[in-house]
Amino acid sequence: MPPHTHRERTGLLQGTLDMLILRTLILGPAHGHEIAKHIQRTSDEVLRLEHGSLYPALHRLEKKGWLASKWDAHREHNRECKYYRLTPAGRKQLIAAESKWQRLQQAIARVMAAAVRA
Amino acid sequence: MTDDLDRELRAHLENEADEQRERGLTADEAQYAARRALGSETIIREDVRALSAWAVLDDVAQDLRYGLRLLKKHPAFAIVAALTLALGVGATTAIFSVVNAVLLRPLPYAEADRLAMVWENVNLPQYKNAQNTPAPGNFRDWRDENSTFTDLAAMRGTAFSLTGNSDPIRVDGAMVSASLFRLLQVEPVLGRTFTADEDRAAPSRVVLIGHSLWTDRFGSSPSIIGQTLQLNDEPYSVVGVMPRGFRFPDAEDLLWVPLGLTPQQLANHGSHFLRVLGRLKPGVTLAQAQVDLDAIAARLTAQYPDSNTSVGVTILSLPEQTVGDVRRPLLVILGIVGLLLLMVCANIGNLLLARASARGREFAVRAALGASRRRMLRQLLAESILLATLGGALGLALAWWGVSALRWLAPTDLPRVTDIAVNGSVAAFNFTIAILAGVVSGIIPALQSQARDLHDSLKDETRASATRARLRARNLLVIVETALGVVVLVGAGLLLRSFVRLSNVPVGFKSEGVLTFRVALPAARYRTDVQRTAFYQQVSERLQALPGVSSAAAISFLPLSMSGRTTGVSVEGEPPPAPGQARFVDFRTVSPGYFATMSIPMLAGRDVAWSDTNATPSSIVISETTARSFWPNGDAIGKRIKSGGPQDNTPWLTVVGVVGNVRQLDLVRLPRPAMYIPAAQDRATGDTLRDWVVRTSADSSALVPAVRSVIWSVDSTLPITRVQTLDQVKSASTASQQFNLLLVGLFAVLALVLAAVGVYGVTAYSVSQRTRELGIRVALGARPGALLKLVLAHGARLTLIGLAIGTMAALALTQVMSTLLFGVGARDPMTFVGVALLLLAVSLGASFVPAHRATRVDPVVALRA
List, in sequence order, every beta strand (DSSP E) within B169-310: 169-176, 190-191, 206-209, 228-231, 234-241, 255-258, 275-280
pLDDT band at B68 (very low <50, low <70, confident <90, very high): confident
Most confident of A6-10, B14-18, B251-255, B297-301: B297-301
Q: Confirm if B483 and B809 have CB atoms less than 8 A apart.
A: yes
How many residue pairs from chains A and B have C-beta atoms closer than 8 A? 76
Interface confidence (ipTM) of the complex: 0.82
**Maximum mean pLDDT: which of B217-226, B440-449, B458-467:** B217-226
Instruction: Indicate the pLDDT class of residue B412, thresholds 50, 70 and 90.
Output: confident
pLDDT band at A110 (very low <50, low <70, confident <90, very high): confident
- Which of B86-90, B245-249, B414-418 shows the lowest per-residue confidence on average (mean pLDDT)? B414-418
> In terms of Cα–Cα distance, which of A58, A41, A48, A42 is closest to A12?
A48
pLDDT digits 0-9 by tens, A27-37: 889 998 889 88
Can you tell me the distance from the alpha carbon of B482 to that of B809, in angstroms, rounded to the nearest whole number?
Answer: 12
Q: Domain boundaries in chain B?
A: 2-51, 125-309, 325-503+735-864, 521-718
Indicate if the pLDDT at residue B605 is higher than 90: yes
For domain A8-117, is the CATH number 3.40.190.10? no
Please give, rounded to a whole number of angstroms, the shortest distance from the CA of A79 to a CA of chain B.
7
Please list the residues that pair with B204 across neighbouring strands: none
Judging contacts by C-beta atoms under 8 Å, the chain B residues touching residue A71 are 7
Integer angstrom CA distances of residue A90 from A7, A93, B772: 21, 5, 60
Do residue A33 and residue B15 have CB atoms under 8 angstroms apart?
Answer: yes
**3-class secondary structure, B225:** coil
Distance (Å) from the alpha carbon of B318 to chain A's nearest alpha carbon: 56
Residue B178 to residues B113, B151, B228, Cα–Cα distance (Å): 21, 11, 20
Say which residues have a Cβ less than 8 Å from residue B43's Cβ, sequence separation at least 6.
A1, A2, A6, A52
A51 vs B37: CB contact, 8 Å cut-off?
yes
Q: Would the CB atoms of A2 and B43 count as touching at under 8 Å?
A: yes
Q: How far apart are CA A80 and CA B745, in angstroms?
A: 76
CA distance A53 to chain B (A): 7
How many CB atoms are located within 10 Å of the residue B344 CB? 29
- Residue B603 · residue B660 · CB < 8 Å: yes
Do the Cβ atoms of B438 and B387 come closer than 8 Å?
Answer: yes
DSSP class of B168: -
Is the per-residue pLDDT at A52 higher than 90?
no
What are the DSSP calls for B228-242, one per residue? EEEETTEEEEEEEEP
Q: Is the pLDDT of residue B378 over 90?
A: no
B786-791: average pLDDT:
86
pLDDT bracket for residue B765 (50, 70, 90): confident
The Cα B254–Cα B162 span in angstroms is 11
Helix, strand or coil, per DSSP, at residue B861? helix
Q: Stretch B312-334: mean pLDDT, rounded?
A: 90
Residues of A in contact with B47 (CB under 8 A): 6, 55-56
Determine which of A59, A75, A77, A80 to mutate to test the interface with B (most B C-beta atoms within 10 Å).
Answer: A59
Mean pLDDT of B186-203: 90
Q: Cβ–Cβ of A59/B12 closer than 8 Å?
A: no
Ranges A62-71, B44-53, B104-113, B478-487, most confident: B478-487
**Which residues of chain A does B12 touch, with a Cβ-Cβ cutoff of 8 Å?**
31-33, 51, 55
CB atoms within 10 A of CB B336: 28
Are B752 and B489 in contact, with CB atoms under 8 Å apart? yes
A70 close to B (CB below 8 A): no
In B538-628, the DSSP E strands lie at 549-555, 565-571, 583-590, 602-605, 619-623
pLDDT higher than 70, residue A11: no
Which residue stretches of B599-697 are H helix? Answer: 624-630
Helices B704-714 and B529-544 sit at what angle, rounded to 10 degrees?
150
pLDDT of residue B508: 93
Residue B734, pLDDT score: 87
User: Pairing mode, if any, of strands B228-231 and B234-241?
Assistant: antiparallel
A74 pLDDT exceeds 70? yes
Checking phi first, is residue B165 left (phi over 0); if not, alpha (psi -120 to 50) or beta?
left
B166 or B767: whose pLDDT is higher? Answer: B767
Asked if pLDDT for residue A7 goes beyond 60, the answer is: no
Nearest residue of chain B to residue A61 (CA atoms):
B51
Interface contact A51, partner B, CB < 8 A = yes
Whether chain B has a CB inside 8 Å of the CB on A2: the answer is yes
Q: Which residues of chain B are at the A interface, by a Cβ-Cβ cutoff of 8 Å?
A: 4-5, 7-9, 11-12, 14-16, 18-19, 37-41, 43-44, 47-48, 51, 368-370, 372
Give which of A17, A51, A71, A76 to mutate to test B binding, by max B Cβ within 10 Å.
Answer: A51
Average pLDDT over residues B351-355: 81
Does the CB of A4 have a partner CB in chain B at under 8 Å?
Answer: yes
CA dihedral A47, A49, A54, A58 (to 10 degrees): 20
Region of poorest pLDDT, from A39-53, B367-381, B496-510, B804-818: B367-381
User: What is the pLDDT at residue B663?
Assistant: 92
Percent of chain B with pLDDT over 90: 44
pLDDT(B127) > 80:
no
CA distances to B95, B97, B407 from B401, rounded to whole Å, are 12, 12, 10
DSSP percent split of chain B into helix, strand, coil, nearest 5 = 55, 15, 30
Q: Which of B3, B6, B13, B38 to mutate to test the interface with A (most CBs of A within 10 A)?
A: B38
- Which stretch of B63-72, B122-131, B315-324, B786-795 has the lowest confidence by average pLDDT? B122-131
> Do the Cβ atoms of A6 and B47 come within 8 Å?
yes
Higher pLDDT, B644 or B434: B434
Task: Decide if pLDDT at B53 tops 70.
Answer: no
**Integer Cα distance of B622 and B864 in angstroms:** 88
Is residue B76 scored above 90 in pLDDT? no
Nearest-angstrom CA–CA distance, B790 and B853: 12
Task: Verify cis geometry, omega within 30 degrees of 0, for the bond prior to B249.
Answer: yes
Average pLDDT over residues B501-529: 89
The span from the CA of B559 to the CA of B663, in Å, is 7
Closest CA to B657 of B611, B588, B607: B607
Residue A9: closest CA among chain B residues belongs to which residue?
A: B39
**pLDDT for B679-718, tens place per residue?**
988 766 667 889 999 999 888 888 999 999 999 999 988 8
Do β-strands B234-241 and B206-209 pair in parallel, antiparallel, or remain unpaired?
parallel
Confidence check: pLDDT of B354 > 70: yes
The answer to whether B142 touches B313, Cβ cutoff 8 Å, is yes
**Tell me, what's the pLDDT at B735?**
86
pLDDT tens digits, one per residue of B533-570: 999 999 999 999 999 999 999 999 999 987 888 888 88
Q: How confident is the model at residue B190 (pLDDT cuts 50, 70, 90)?
A: very high
Asked if the model's pLDDT at residue A9 lies above 70, the reply is: no
Whole-number pLDDT of residue B766: 82
Mean pLDDT over B586-602 rounds to: 94
**Could you report the per-residue pLDDT of B826-864, keeping only the tens digit for each?**
999 999 999 999 999 999 999 888 888 888 877 777 776
CB-count burial class (<10 Å; 0-12, 13-18, 19+) for B697: exposed
What residues have CB less than 8 Å from B760, skipping those under 6 apart? B846, B847, B849, B850
- Please state, in angstroms and as integers, the Cα–Cα distance from residue B738 to each residue in B209, B363, B438, following that order: 34, 51, 33
3-state class of A14 per DSSP? helix
3-state helix, strand, coil in chain A (%, to 5): 60, 15, 25
Report the phi/psi class of residue A109: left, alpha or beta, with left for phi > 0 and alpha for psi in -120 to 50: alpha
CB–CB of A3 and B368 under 8 A? yes
Whether B259 and B156 have beta carbons less than 8 Å apart is answered as: yes
Distance (Å, whole) CA B356 – CA B377: 12
Q: Give CA–CA dist B830/B493, Å, rounded.
A: 9
CA distance B386 to chain A (A): 28
pLDDT of residue B803: 95
Question: Who wins on pLDDT, B362 or B91?
Answer: B91
Confidence (pLDDT) at A13:
61
The average pLDDT across B483-489 equals: 95
Beta pairing, strands B169-176 & A80-86: unpaired
Higher pLDDT, B151 or B251: B151
Number of neighbours of residue B151 by Cβ within 10 angstroms: 15
Contacts B7 to A, Cβ<8 Å: 71, 80, 82
CB atoms within 10 A of CB B307: 19
**pLDDT of B647:** 76
A56–B contact, CB cutoff 8 A: yes
Quote the pLDDT of residue B374.
Answer: 72
Is A81 in CB contact (< 8 Å) with chain B? yes
* Residue B138 CB contacts under 8 Å (≥ 6 apart), including other chains: B120, B269, B297, B300, B308, B311
Q: Does B450 have pLDDT greater than 70?
A: no
Banded model confidence at residue B286, pLDDT cuts 50, 70, 90 = very high
A75 at B interface, C-beta within 8 A: no
Pick from B268-277, B407-416, B492-501, B607-616: least confident: B407-416
Question: How close does chain A come to B440, measured CA to CA in Å?
Answer: 29
The answer to whether residue B578 scores a pLDDT higher than 80 is no
